[in-house]
Every structure is written in C-alpha cells, then in structure tokens.
Amino acid sequence: MCEADKSAGSAVGSVLIENARTRVTEWRFPAKGDNTGWHRHEHDYVVVPLADGQLELREPGGQTRFAELRKGVPYFREKGVRHDVVNYNAFEFAFIEIEFLDGGGS
C-alpha cells in the first residue's frame, strides 16, 4: 500500500503478486473498526471489492467520507492519496488492491 505512517492498522494485507510492473494485495478487515492505518499511495491503483459493503475513509484535516462498494465493481485512484481506510460493516470486509508500479510499460 505504500508509504505508511507510524500508526499501524489492524487490517491484514497479503501480497498475492509482485513484480516490476504490478503489486496485487488482498486486504482483509476482520471486524468493524479494523483499519489500514494512515498511508499515502505512491502509485496509481485499482480496488476490487470482494463483497458489498461500506468503508469509512478518514482524510487529512479531520475529514471523513463513506464509500459504498459493490462486489466485483472496481474503482481507480491516482497516486498521492493519503488516508486511513476503516471497515464500517458489522462483518469481515475484503478487497483486492492492484498497484501500477514504476518500471513497466510497452
């Protein structure tokens, strides 16, 4: 997920694929309130939810917004995003994060 701040989160990230062009990580949030910890994305990325659910996105300056996610419906974000992602569901939530690393291209 990139550059993390000192406060580690309780979500569990498992790298599934990593090469010069792409990193694919499965993120699991076992319970409501589990979070990634504050981090900044150093690469453009796509998120693919593995279930329907809602995430709380804590952003700099104390801003909070909520994202409604649908199983299998991806979304794209550009590098530079800084946030803490929190499970807002009463059940385990998970998504796949696909980062587009430097060094690829054709």
> What are the structural domain ranges in the chain?
3-100
The pLDDT of residue 27 is 98
Tell me the per-residue pLDDT of 50-78, one tens digit each, with 9 for 90 and over. Answer: 999 999 999 999 999 999 999 999 999 99
For the whole model, what pTM was predicted?
A: 0.90
What DSSP line would sit under the chain, residue for residue? --EE-SS--S-EEEEEEE-SSEEEEEEEE-STT-B--SEE-SS-EEEEESSSEEEEEEEGGGEEEEEEE-TT--EEE-TT-EEEEEE-SSS-EEEEEEEE-TT---
Classified by CATH at the fold level, domain 3-100 comes out as Jelly Rolls (2.60.120)
Residue 3 pLDDT class (50, 70, 90 cuts): low
Q: Using CA atoms in the order 68, 73, 79, 83, what is the torsion angle rounded to 10 degrees?
A: 20
